[in-house]
A = this chain, B = another copy of it.
Amino acid sequence: MNAIDNEKQAVVRLAERFGRVRDAHQREQAEDYVELIADLIDGHGEARVVDLAGRLGVTNATVNNTIHRLQRDGLVTSKPYRSIFLTEEGRKLAESARERHRIVRAFLVALGVDADSAEADAEGIEHHVSDATLDAFRRYLGHADAREAKPGSFRGARQGGA
C-alpha cells in the first residue's frame, strides 16, 4: 500500500468518474499530453503551446484544441495566451504515466534492446501494459540488477542491431 498504489487508485477512480476521456485512444492522448506537460514544466519551468506542438509534431492550432479538451476534462488549466498547468488530477495521471514509461524503457534496455528503439517503443507500449505485466517487468528488472552486481551471467545478447 505505497504512494504509487494510492496514485494508481486515484487514476482509476478518475477514469471511472469522468464520462469523458473514456476510450483507449483518448486516454492515450491525454496521458501523452500530461506526461509531456509535466516534463516541460520540470525542464523549462513552464509548458507552452509552441513547445508541445514542436514535440508532438502537430500545429499550434491542434495543440490548442486538445488543451481545451483536457481542460474540459479537468486535467489541465490555462488562461488565454498563458502557459499550461496541470491540475492535481492531471499531475497524478502524469506521474503514473511517467512511472510506467520509465519501467517499460528500462525493461527493454535490460532485455538488450538498443536505447533508441527502447525509447521509441516504450512511448507506444506504456499505454498498453496492465499491472500484471508491469509487475513482471519490475521483477525482471530486479533480477537483472542482481545479475548486474555479479557479472558473468547472461544479460541479453547482440545489443545494438538497428
Which A residues are within 8 Å of any B CB, using their own CB? Answer: 24-25, 108, 111-114, 117-118, 120-121, 123-125, 127-133, 135-137, 139-140, 143, 154, 156-158, 161-162
Contact = CB atoms under 8 A, between A and B. Distances in A.
Contacts of A123: 128
Nearest to A139: B157
SS of A interface (majority): helix
A128 B139 contact: no
A133 B154 contact: no
B125 A112 contact: no
A102 to B, nearest CB: 16
Nearest to A160: B132
Copies in the complex: 2
A133 B113 contact: yes
B140 A130 contact: no
29 contacts: A24-B124, A25-B25, A111-B133, A111-B137, A112-B139, A113-B132, A113-B133, A113-B136, A114-B132, A117-B130, A117-B132, A121-B129, A121-B130, A121-B132, A121-B133, A123-B128, A124-B127, A124-B128, A125-B125, A125-B128, A125-B129, A128-B128, A130-B162, A131-B162, A132-B162, A136-B156, A139-B157, A139-B158, A140-B156
